Structure formats: C-alpha cells, structure tokens
C-alpha cells in the first residue's frame, strides 16, 4: 500500500507537494480525491494527483500528514487529471488552481484565523469599560460568536489593523485560533413520503386520514410539499409510518432553477441535401471513434444547430457523451428549448448564471453519469464526463470563449485538446470562423464542411452601407425611412449599437474637462435614468454634477451616444411605435432577458434597440430589418483583431434579419465605407474577408503565423510597476541571446488601458514562430522575473494566446 500522496493545493504556488498518508486512510485514499492538508500554518484543500512509494530523498522524515480525506470517491478521473496537467503546463498556471477553475465553486475548504472574545473582554463589555472603537469591534465579534480575522479587517478597515488585533490577543482580550471556514456546498436531500396502503386496524384521526388520502392521490410527495399543505404534520406522519400505511425515504434532489422556456415547440425537420452531406461526413467521424475535427462554415440560418442535434443523437446511440459550448449570451431560451424538445431531461446546464447550489447539482448529475449531454458556456469544457464522444463549439469565433481573468484559457482551444485526449469528434461551427480555425482547415488540420445557403433557399439579407460623412445626426435619412416602412408593413426591426449608457462621456466645452474614472484610465459614461456617471470597467458610480467641477461652466455636454440615448431618440422620432431596449442595464435582473424576448416574439415590440446581446442565438421570423447605428466602434479598438471582430459582429447582426419567409434588409452606418471588414460584411463574403485579413496577418507575423504571450505587470505603485517592466525588458533581452531569432519581443510598454481598477498596468508582448520554443522562453522569463519581483508588490499576469491585447 502506498504511503505518500502528491498533492496540488488550490493556491498560487507552482509546485505540488508530497504528504504522508495516515494509517487509517491508506485503504480508502485514491488519486483524484480532495484532501485537507497543512500548508504554511494553515489548512487548505488539495487534490491528490499521484501516489508515491517513498518520499523524495531531501524530504525524508520531514513530511507532514494529510489532515482529512474529503471525498469518498475521486472527483477527478485520470483522464481529467491529464487534461488539467496539460492546461497547467500550457497556460503557465498552478495545477491546483487549474483544477479549482474546472470544478464547481464551493468545494474548497481552507483554514483561517478565527476571533472570539475572552471572559475578560466579555466582562468589560457588560461593564461598559471599553474604549469606543474597541467596544464597537468586540460587539461585532460577540454578535457573530466566531468570526474570521479577515472579515473584521474588512468590516473595520480604518478602525483596526492586524497587529492591533494581535496585541489585544496578547492582552488576553480576544482568542485567535485556526479554524476551518468556507461554506462547502453539499448535495441537497429531501424526505419523500410514499403511499403504502394496506388495511386499517384502528380508526385514524381526522388529520391522519386527510394526509393519507392526499398522499394516496399524489403517490410520492416530498415532505416539504406536504408540510406546506398540512400544518405540523410530523406526529401524524410518524403514526402513519409506524402503522405501515406510509413510508418515508431520503432522496437526493437537484436544485434545478432552469426556466421552462415556454416558447414555441421545435419539431424535428427533414434534413436538406446540404445538411445530409455535411452530417454524413460527421457521422463517419463519430463512428470511427477517433479524434475527428471538423469546422462547419455555414452562413447564419443555414441549419447548423440541426446538424449538432443529429450528431449528438448518434453519439448517444453509441453510449457516449456530448459537450456543447455556446457563447454566454447565446444561452438563450430559444436554444435551450430546442435542446429540451429533442433530448428531454438528458441534459445538464453549466454556466455562470446559475447559483452555487444549482451549479453544483448540475455538475454532480454529469459526474454521476445521470445525464449524457452538457450545454453550457466556456466552463462547460470541464464537464466531468468519462466517455466523451463529441465536443461541439457553436460560434467558435466568439471572444467570450476566452476567460480574461485568472486562468486565461480559451475554451475553443481546450476543446481541441480534450477531444484529442478522448478520441472524440470535434465540431466547430460558425458563419464567420476565426482566422485561426479557417487557417487550420486550409492546412488540413480540420476537415472543412460548408453550408453555403440558408434553409429553404431563403436569401441572405440585402445590406446597404450609409456613408455617415455625408449625413447629419444620429440616424441617417435612409435608416429612418427603412424603420418607418418596416413598421408600416407590420414587421419588426433591430437597432444595434455596441455601447450602453446615454452619453459616452461628458465634456465641458469651456475648459475641456472630462470626467475620468478614479480607478481606470477611461472616461465615465453618462446614464440618464440614474443621472449618474459610471465606469464600465470597475463599476465606479457617482452622481452627475450640473456644472463643470473645474471652471464652474454651465454647459456640460454629453458626447457620443449609447443605447439609452438611442432608445430615447427613436422614441422621439417614432412616438407611436413600441420601442424596447436590451443591454446590460435592462437585463441585470434574472429573467428580464427572457421577458424582453417574449415581448418581441409576441409582437409587443416594434423596434428593439440593443448591444451585442441582440446579436446572437435568436431567431425571430418577423424581424426583417436590422440597422447598425455605427459600424466603427469596434474598428477603432487598439488591437490587431479589430478588423476581424468588426467583420464578425456585422455579419452576425445582419444575420438576424429575414430569418422567416420575407427578405431581410440591413443598413450599416459607417464613417469607413471602404474598409474591407465592412465591405466584405456587406457582401456576405467570408472568404473574401479571410483572404485580405490573412495577408495582413502574414505581413506582420501575427497569429495564425505566430503565437503570442502577453506578460502583463499590475501594481499599486506607478513607479514600481514601470521599474519592474523595465527589469522584465532587460531579462527578456538577455534571454534572447539564448533563444535567438525565433522569438521577438514587443515592449515593454504601458498597456492600452494603463490603469484599471486602481492598478497600474504595463505589458510586454512576446511573439514566437514555434509554440514549444515560445513556451520554453516564457517559462524561463517567468521564473527569472519572479525571483527579481519577490516582495515588490508588482504582479506578473501571463496571458497565453491573448485574444485582445488590452
């Protein structure tokens, strides 16, 4: 029997550590279980990633013991562990933290310092002999009984410090102990009452017979439901149980809050010949039980989703499992109802909109093999299936697949890796594939499948560009006319603007003053309804003043428009038309999103104004006109992908028009009517766009012709962050001697958003032709830099394959 485990703790440490297994755990301990282990004076949750025969030589005799075994069965299979190790290596991120990212929240216990009062201080509280500050804090500790030191420091940041608390401990006023905190999410169980029937030997009380009748009618019913119907039913129930008329059992239940969408049913159609052709290729892949990667390039409305559903049917027939990834915002009721109509309850949902308990329950359904399909946003790539047959990534180009904080993984890229590990089929689908994926298809790494036409030969919408250099105001003459006409024909319209709020920023024309976020290097957006100025990055809010705070001028002006203003303008122009708005401000409440869509579906909205939220996943036959108020917002993004992003957005928005019987019309307003991203989007010409864009990437050696890693430095002090950036630059240059021409360094320079959430940001971009070579370089750089940066208060944040370099 093994005596030592290798443990990855869920902390930012780059190594894993061996621990001794106590005698009593040796029989039950397995790879993939969680343990509580002592670590730097605390107790933390770790994951067992290996079993060893003996301790490494240098640690012999010094090993500490595992404190507690937290699971009865492994949470992680060996296959998942292999996947997590790959991720940890590729993204230069600690293994324990990678695993933590992949698990639902609430599985992570750790120890903390806990405060409680001593008899002496309790006494002083009663006598009222304490100083005011002390009294306030002690009262808080007493109220909570036990409270973590961190919480008290957070609650009273000005009044008390850590050293102060420790000095009170020395004076015998408080206890400071190590305790375990963190609400662990547990499965939820319910008592279920069953009807057993049988003969009555003695008469029943009125209440007893009522309960018995009721349960008989329902057959099985949960205790919680029963106690809603009958007041304090416990005694009666126990009596009925004792007489064998009812029985009670315990069952695990799922906290399933997923909405029953209540939209139109989705019948299974006959496939079109194009769909048949594409599907038959995919079925060959699935039946081969080998890694089979496909890229489906299909225009919007060409029937890709139906292909996904059919492919999943085949995978289920083979008793294998399916992961379906969709961008966060397209987890729409419509998509959900299409899956539910086809697969019923054989489906788990994983996305960030779920509560902790719900998410945990959905995850457990997968883990226990109760469902065979997972539908979710990017984190669903970690669904713990054991026999995966297919991974589908819808709208594979979508930037929301990239996690932009902590572990900066790209779920589409991970889907390739996981499908390979599992010998599964991979389906990437999009009307506007990413340059990387299409390039991979060109090189033969992905098998390219095409759906060139919309279902039933419905034409793609007719798109017109309006040159805004020749127009005045917000909405061009043409756009107004089109909205009016569409309304008169009893059709619906979408109006897209990729910016929320009322005005982009507020300017004083007299002295030039603008309102900036105190934490970020951006201007504040004006929101009319709350009369507030808001930062869209850190959520800083402040009341909008009437006059300029510097020169006291009275002529403050809003510059640039957002969806809130657009809605108002449209209402002004068309007073008799129903206008709705969908953006983050109108959908922050749960289900408000669904309500807006339902209103659109039922015809209660004539014109829907919105941000990116209206772009995806919806399919409304009566929407025949789409207006793009400004195509230029994304074009001016300081990033090499801005052209690609613009093309994708415009194509997707335009794709919302005319999905029913009638021809769709689109008007795009722009100040750059000759830019190829805009022209090619107008012509629905992905290939044409790809050919131009790929030239540009090649000339500048940007991905897919190279790989990038962004080394970002983030610190509280401007000076130190800059100094460390320079230091990193020196280390980088020095390393180039060893790595030579294959690596190119850009920077260090100030990040495009040089301050964010109160922290200063610098960055250094490293480009490499070969990924392994670039990774080697990155590891060298990171480890040399980390020794230099110890204790300086500047953090290194590594972004491998950044999507946006901000």
Is position 302 an interface residue for ligand ADP (rule: CB under 6 A)? yes
Contact stretch for Zn ion (CB under 5 A) within 213-221, 476-484, 509-517, 792-800 = 509-517
In angstroms, the CA 70 to CA 47 distance is 10
Burial readout 614-641 (b: 16 or more C-beta within 10 A, e: otherwise): bbbbbbbeebbbbbbbbbbbbbeeebeb
In angstroms, the CA 7 to CA 9 distance is 6
Binding partner at 519 among ligand ADP, Zn ion, none, C-beta below 5 to 8 Å by kind: Zn ion
Q: What residue has token string 């670039």?
A: 774
Region of residue 796 (left: phi > 0; alpha: psi -120 to 50; beta: else)? beta
Burial readout 302-318 (b: 16 or more C-beta within 10 A, e: otherwise): bbbbbbbbbbbebbbee
The interface with ligand ADP within residues 440-459 (CB under 6 A) comprises 455
β-sheet with 388-394: strand ranges across: 347-350, 373-376, 321-325, 388-394, 425-430, 292-298, 447-451
In angstroms, the CA 736 to CA 421 distance is 34
Choice between 395 and 644, CB closer to ligand ADP: 395
**Helix, strand, or coil (residue 559):** strand
Is position 306 an interface residue for ligand ADP (rule: CB under 6 A)? yes
Binding partner at 275 among Zn ion, ligand ADP, none, C-beta below 5 to 8 Å by kind: ligand ADP
In angstroms, the CA 89 to CA 725 distance is 24
Q: How many C-beta atoms surround the C-beta of residue 464 within 10 A?
A: 14
| Closest separation in Å from C-beta 648 to ligand ADP | 14
CA 576, 577, 578, 579 torsion-angle sign: negative
User: Which residues in 22-128 belong to E strands, given as ranges?
Assistant: 34-39, 42-52, 68-69, 110-117
| Closest separation in Å from C-beta 298 to ligand ADP | 5
Phi, psi of 208 (to 5 degrees): -60, -45
| Closest separation in Å from C-beta 301 to ligand ADP | 4
Binding partner at 540 among ligand ADP, Zn ion, none, C-beta below 5 to 8 Å by kind: Zn ion
Contact stretch for ligand ADP (CB under 6 A) within 100-108, 298-306, 345-353, 569-577 = 298-306
Choice between 707 and 759, CB closer to Zn ion: 759
Is position 305 an interface residue for ligand ADP (rule: CB under 6 A)? yes
Assess contact for 207 and 226: CB atoms under 8 A: no
Binding partner at 619 among ligand ADP, Zn ion, none, C-beta below 5 to 8 Å by kind: ligand ADP
Choice between 121 and 300, CB closer to ligand ADP: 300
| Closest separation in Å from C-beta 560 to Zn ion | 17
| Closest separation in Å from C-beta 77 to ligand ADP | 32
Binding partner at 304 among Zn ion, ligand ADP, none, C-beta below 5 to 8 Å by kind: ligand ADP
| Closest separation in Å from C-beta 659 to ligand ADP | 6
The interface with ligand ADP within residues 264-283 (CB under 6 A) comprises 269-272, 275
Choice between 304 and 581, CB closer to ligand ADP: 304
| Closest separation in Å from C-beta 244 to ligand ADP | 53
Is position 301 an interface residue for ligand ADP (rule: CB under 6 A)? yes
Binding partner at 72 among Zn ion, ligand ADP, none, C-beta below 5 to 8 Å by kind: none
| Closest separation in Å from C-beta 304 to ligand ADP | 3
Closest among 516, 309, 475, 484 to 392, alpha carbons compared: 309
| Closest separation in Å from C-beta 756 to Zn ion | 7
Choice between 297 and 593, CB closer to ligand ADP: 297
Binding partner at 535 among ligand ADP, Zn ion, none, C-beta below 5 to 8 Å by kind: Zn ion
Choice between 212 and 307, CB closer to ligand ADP: 307
Phi, psi of 518 (to 5 degrees): -70, -20
CA 230 from centroid of its chain's CA atoms: 43
Is position 313 an interface residue for ligand ADP (rule: CB under 6 A)? no
CA 360, 361, 362, 364 torsion-angle sign: positive
- Token reading at 574: 């068309």
What residues contact 572, with CB distance under 8 A and at least 6 apart? none
Q: Considering all CA atoms of the chain, what is the largest pairwise distance in Å, rounded to the nearest integer? A: 95
Assess contact for 491 and 625: CB atoms under 8 A: yes
Choice between 8 and 278, CB closer to ligand ADP: 278
Write each residue from 526 to 555 as x if it is in contact with Zn ion (CB under 5 A), else as -, in one continuous string.
---------x-xx-x---------------
Binding partner at 134 among ligand ADP, Zn ion, none, C-beta below 5 to 8 Å by kind: none
Q: What residue has token string 């409440």?
A: 589
In angstroms, the CA 6 to CA 391 distance is 31
Binding partner at 520 among ligand ADP, Zn ion, none, C-beta below 5 to 8 Å by kind: Zn ion
| Closest separation in Å from C-beta 427 to ligand ADP | 12
What residues contact 744, with CB distance under 8 A and at least 6 apart? 701, 766, 767, 768
The interface with ligand ADP within residues 574-633 (CB under 6 A) comprises 619
**Helix, strand, or coil (residue 286):** helix
The interface with ligand ADP within residues 113-142 (CB under 6 A) comprises none
Assess contact for 528 and 569: CB atoms under 8 A: no
Reported as type and span, the H/E element at residue 306 is helix 304-317
Is position 640 an interface residue for Zn ion (rule: CB under 5 A)? no
Choice between 516 and 598, CB closer to Zn ion: 516
Instruction: Out of 100, 304, 402, 616, name the contact with ligand ADP by CB under 6 A.
Output: 304
Q: How many C-beta atoms surround the C-beta of residue 699 within 10 A?
A: 9
In angstroms, the CA 504 to CA 536 distance is 10
Assess contact for 114 and 178: CB atoms under 8 A: yes
**Helix, strand, or coil (residue 751):** strand
Choice between 454 and 527, CB closer to ligand ADP: 454
Choice between 363 and 502, CB closer to Zn ion: 502
Binding partner at 608 among ligand ADP, Zn ion, none, C-beta below 5 to 8 Å by kind: none
User: Which residues in 368-491 belong to E strands, given as ranges?
Assistant: 373-376, 388-394, 425-430, 447-451, 462-467
Choice between 272 and 611, CB closer to ligand ADP: 272
Choice between 255 and 598, CB closer to ligand ADP: 598
The interface with ligand ADP within residues 448-507 (CB under 6 A) comprises 455
Burial readout 681-693 (b: 16 or more C-beta within 10 A, e: otherwise): bbebbbeebbebb
Binding partner at 223 among ligand ADP, Zn ion, none, C-beta below 5 to 8 Å by kind: none
Task: Kindly state the number of chain residues that form the binding site for ligand ADP, as judged by CB under 6 A.
Answer: 15
Contact stretch for ligand ADP (CB under 6 A) within 302-310, 538-546, 563-571, 732-740 = 302-310
Binding partner at 611 among ligand ADP, Zn ion, none, C-beta below 5 to 8 Å by kind: none
Beta bridge partners of 666: 463, 626
The interface with Zn ion within residues 547-606 (CB under 5 A) comprises none
Assess contact for 357 and 363: CB atoms under 8 A: no
Assess contact for 652 and 616: CB atoms under 8 A: yes
| Closest separation in Å from C-beta 321 to Zn ion | 42
| Closest separation in Å from C-beta 626 to ligand ADP | 15
- Token reading at 468: 């805004």
Choice between 166 and 540, CB closer to Zn ion: 540
Choice between 650 and 798, CB closer to ligand ADP: 650
Instruction: Out of 208, 300, 498, 563, name the contact with ligand ADP by CB under 6 A.
Output: 300
Residues near ligand ADP, by CB under 6 A:
269-272, 275, 298, 300-306, 455, 619
User: Can you give the binding site for Zn ion, defined by CB under 5 A?
Assistant: 517, 519-520, 535, 537-538, 540
């Amino acid at each position: 029997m093994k005596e030592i485990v290798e443990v990855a703790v869920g902390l930012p440490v780059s190594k894993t550590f061996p621990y001794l297994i106590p005698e009593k755990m040796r029989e039950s301990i397995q790879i993939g279980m969680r343990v509580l282990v002592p670590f730097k004076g605390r107790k933390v949750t770790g994951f067992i990633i290996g079993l060893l025969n003996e301790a490494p030589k240098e640690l012999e005799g010094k090993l500490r013991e595992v404190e507690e075994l937290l699971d009865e069965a492994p949470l992680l299979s060996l296959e998942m562990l292999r996947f997590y190790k790959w991720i940890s290596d590729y993204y230069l991120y600690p293994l324990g933290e990678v695993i933590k990212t992949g698990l639902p929240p609430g599985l992570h216990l750790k120890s903390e310092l806990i405060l409680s009062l001593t008899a002496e201080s309790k006494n002083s509280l009663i006598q009222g002999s304490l100083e005011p500050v002390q009294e306030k804090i002690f009262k808080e500790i007493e109220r909570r009984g036990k409270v973590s030191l961190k919480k008290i420091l957070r609650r009273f940041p000005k009044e008390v410090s850590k050293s102060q608390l420790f000095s009170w401990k020395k004076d015998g006023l408080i206890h400071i102990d190590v305790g375990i905190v963190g609400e662990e999410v547990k499965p939820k169980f319910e008592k279920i009452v069953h009807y057993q029937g049988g003969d009555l030997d003695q008469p029943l009380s009125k209440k007893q017979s009522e309960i018995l009748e009721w349960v008989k009618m329902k057959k099985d019913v949960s205790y919680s439901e029963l106690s809603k119907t009958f007041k304090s039913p416990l005694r009666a129930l126990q009596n009925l149980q004792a007489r064998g008329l009812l029985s009670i059992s315990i069952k695990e239940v799922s906290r399933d809050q997923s909405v029953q969408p209540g939209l139109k049913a989705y019948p299974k159609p006959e496939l079109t010949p194009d769909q048949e052709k594409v599907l038959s290729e995919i079925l060959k892949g699935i039946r081969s039980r080998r890694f089979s990667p496909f890229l489906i390039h299909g225009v919007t409305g060409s029937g890709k989703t139906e292909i996904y559903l059919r492919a999943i049917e085949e995978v289920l027939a083979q008793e294998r499992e399916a992961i379906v990834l969709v961008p966060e915002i397209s987890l729409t009721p419509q998509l959900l109802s299409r899956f539910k109509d086809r697969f019923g309850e054989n489906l788990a949902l994983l996305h960030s909109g779920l509560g902790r308990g719900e998410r945990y329950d959905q995850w457990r359904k997968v883990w226990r093999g109760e469902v065979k399909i997972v539908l979710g946003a990017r984190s669903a790539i970690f669904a713990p299936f054991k026999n995966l047959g297919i991974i589908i990534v819808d709208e594979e180009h979508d930037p929301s697949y990239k996690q932009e904080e902590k572990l900066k993984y790209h779920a589409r890229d991970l889907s390739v890796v996981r499908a390979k590990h599992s010998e599964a089929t991979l389906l990437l689908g999009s009307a506007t594939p990413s340059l990387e994926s299409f390039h991979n298809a060109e090189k033969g790494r992905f098998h390219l499948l095409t759906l060139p036409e919309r279902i039933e030969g419905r034409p793609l919408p007719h798109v017109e560009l309006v040159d805004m250099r020749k127009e005045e105001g917000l909405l061009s003459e043409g756009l107004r006319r089109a909205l009016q006409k569409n309304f008169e024909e009893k059709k619906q319209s979408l109006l897209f603007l990729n910016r929320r709020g009322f005005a982009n920023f507020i300017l004083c024309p007299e002295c030039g003053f603008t309102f900036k976020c105190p934490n970020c290097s951006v201007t504040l957006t004006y929101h009319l309804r709350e009369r507030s100025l808001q930062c869209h990055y850190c959520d800083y809010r402040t009341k909008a003043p009437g006059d300029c705070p510097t020169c006291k001028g009275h002529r403050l002006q809003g510059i640039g428009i957002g969806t809130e203003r657009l809605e108002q303008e449209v209402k002004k122009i068309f007073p008799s038309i129903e206008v709705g708005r969908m953006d983050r401000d109108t959908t922050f409440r749960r289900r408000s999103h669904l309500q807006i869509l339902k209103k659109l579906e039922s015809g209660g909205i004539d014109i829907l104004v919105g941000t990116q939220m209206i772009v995806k996943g919806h399919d409304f036959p009566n929407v025949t006109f789409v207006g793009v108020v400004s195509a230029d917002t994304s074009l001016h993004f300081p990033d090499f992908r801005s052209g690609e992003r613009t093309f994708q957005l415009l194509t997707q928005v335009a794709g919302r028009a005319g999905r029913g019987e009638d021809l769709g019309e689109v008007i795009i307003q722009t100040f750059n009517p000759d830019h190829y991203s805009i022209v090619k989007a107008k012509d629905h010409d992905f290939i044409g766009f790809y050919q131009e864009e790929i030239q540009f990437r090649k000339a500048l050696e940007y991905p897919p012709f190279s790989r990038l890693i962004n080394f970002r430095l983030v610190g509280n002090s401007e000076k130190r962050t800059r100094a460390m950036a320079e230091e990193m630059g020196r280390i980088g240059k020095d390393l180039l001697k060893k790595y030579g021409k294959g690596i190119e360094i850009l920077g260090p320079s100030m990040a495009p958003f040089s301050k964010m959430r109160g922290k200063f940001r610098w960055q250094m971009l490293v480009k490499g032709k070969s990924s392994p070579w670039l990774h080697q370089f990155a590891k060298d750089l990171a480890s040399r830099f980390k020794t230099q940066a110890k204790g300086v208060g500047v953090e290194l944040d590594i972004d491998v394959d950044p999507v946006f370099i901000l």
